[in-house]
Amino acid sequence: MLYYVFDYLQREFDLIGAGVFQYISFRAGMAAVISLFITISLGKQIIGMLHKKQVGETIRDLGLQGQMEKKGTPTMGGLMILSGILVPVLLFARLDNVYVILLLVATIGLGLIGFMDDYIKVFRKNKKGLAGRFKIVGQIIIGLIVGLTLYFNQDVVIREYADEAIAQNGEVVRVYEDVKSAKTTVPFLKDNELDYDKIFPFLGHDFTWIIYVLIVIFIITAVSNGANITDGIDGLAAGTSAIIGLTLAIFAYLSGRVDFSDYLNILHIPNLSEVVIFCT
């Protein structure tokens, strides 16, 4: 939101300093500061409110050592985490970026599933929470939205370079083309690239999207449920999520920069650097 405001002020009124919002590093840093402020300033109030309303963890007795110590631990704390993510992104990210939109959709969608699960546990007094089949259906729907958009949206492209360089105006430049592709980066493969078109070549290019979308659904479902499992120990999900978020921010920045991606031999994805704001 602020990006568009200051972009307008720079174009129309040549406001001094407004151009700093063009830099992703500045907006990512500001997003991190605002996120930290939100979680610190509101975190204690939210936890206190949850304690006051007795919105605590309900424990199923599985006979595990120390499990009853979690009884009464405030739940629905994900509201604080979501606030620390969504507010800075809405303020500093470019909301016309397809990657930012998809991340917002996935975060809000999975957040709603988690909220419904906690709501049923706390207010409906159902220890099992949201039925597993409904969680899976919700995750599959989100995976479908993300997978289909990534495969068919014309703004989701990778940059491919020609093997030869040509001389233009006395300078040597590299020829490139932004193309739709089913390639992805896998660090353990030679050249770091996996082309979904080559996984099942007998299916043909027309059916690649099915494999692509199924893999996206699997990843989203696996990551969502994996985070839910690690959240069984207080603070574990928050700690691991912070490490993962920082790592993804680094990868998004490197892959979004033409110079770094070329040097590191990874796919260059134009406009992906904007995701750094979301990850921080």
Answer yes or no: are the C-beta atoms of 72 and 56 closer than 8 Å: yes
pLDDT score at 109: 94
pLDDT score at 151: 92
With respect to residue 101, please indicate whether it lies within any of the assigned structural domains. yes
With respect to residue 63, please indicate whether it lies within any of the assigned structural domains. no
Answer yes or no: are the C-beta atoms of 141 and 134 closer than 8 Å: no
77: its two tokens? 């704390």
> What's the gap between Cα 118 and its chain centre?
22
Per-residue pLDDT of the chain (280 residues; tens, 9 = 90+): 888 988 888 888 888 888 898 888 899 999 989 988 888 887 777 777 766 655 555 555 545 455 455 555 556 667 788 888 899 999 999 999 999 999 999 999 998 998 888 778 777 777 777 888 889 999 999 999 999 999 999 999 988 876 655 555 666 666 778 888 888 887 766 677 788 888 777 777 778 888 899 999 999 999 888 877 776 655 567 778 888 888 888 888 888 888 888 888 888 898 888 888 887 7
∠ at Cα 72 (46, 137), nearest 5°?
Answer: 75
pLDDT score at 141: 96
With respect to residue 220, please indicate whether it lies within any of the assigned structural domains. yes
Q: State how beta strands 171-179 and 183-185 pair.
A: unpaired
With respect to residue 64, please indicate whether it lies within any of the assigned structural domains. no
pLDDT score at 54: 56
Can you tell me whether residue 21 is helix, strand or coil?
A: helix
Can you tell me whether residue 36 is helix, strand or coil?
A: helix
pLDDT score at 67: 47
The Cα–Cα gap between 160 and 152 comes to 18
Answer yes or no: are the C-beta atoms of 243 and 253 closer than 8 Å: no
Q: What are the backbone dihedrals phi and psi of residue 239, each rounded to the nearest 5 degrees, phi first?
A: -65, -50
With respect to residue 206, please indicate whether it lies within any of the assigned structural domains. yes
Strand residue runs (E) in 60-208: 158-168, 171-179, 183-185, 193-195
pLDDT score at 234: 54
pLDDT score at 101: 93
Answer yes or no: are the C-beta atoms of 274 and 93 closer than 8 Å: yes
Domain count, the chain: 1
With respect to residue 243, please indicate whether it lies within any of the assigned structural domains. yes
| Residue range of the domain that includes 88 | 2-58+70-279
With respect to residue 219, please indicate whether it lies within any of the assigned structural domains. yes
pLDDT score at 92: 93
pLDDT score at 165: 59
The Cα–Cα gap between 237 and 10 comes to 41
The Cα–Cα gap between 7 and 21 comes to 7
